[in-house]
Amino acid sequence: MDELAREKQEVLRLRSLLVQKDAELGSERGRLLEIETRSRYVLGALRRLRALPAFLWKRIAGLRGSRS
């Protein structure tokens, strides 16, 4: 096999590796986006709960105490 054929084969091998790594990266980016979306939802819910007036928290605590 001559030098040019070996170089072409190496280029094809490296190109294949690059495509594989690009696919893996895309998959990980998708998973990261899913985690970020879920965390924004949870943080938004926490922010809304913290914004509840104190009298509602007292009312909720009173309801918990009446169940026992």
The structural domains of the chain, with segments of one domain joined by +, span 3-67
Which pLDDT does position 67 carry in this prediction? 66
- Is the predicted pLDDT of residue 66 greater than 80, yes or no? no
Q: Cα separation of 31 and 37, whole Å?
A: 10
Q: List, for residues 2-60, the tens digit of each pLDDT value.
A: 999 999 999 999 999 999 999 999 999 999 999 999 999 999 999 988 888 888 888 88
- Is the predicted pLDDT of residue 68 greater than 80, yes or no? no
Q: Cα separation of 11 and 24, whole Å?
A: 20
Q: Which amino acid is at 54?
A: A
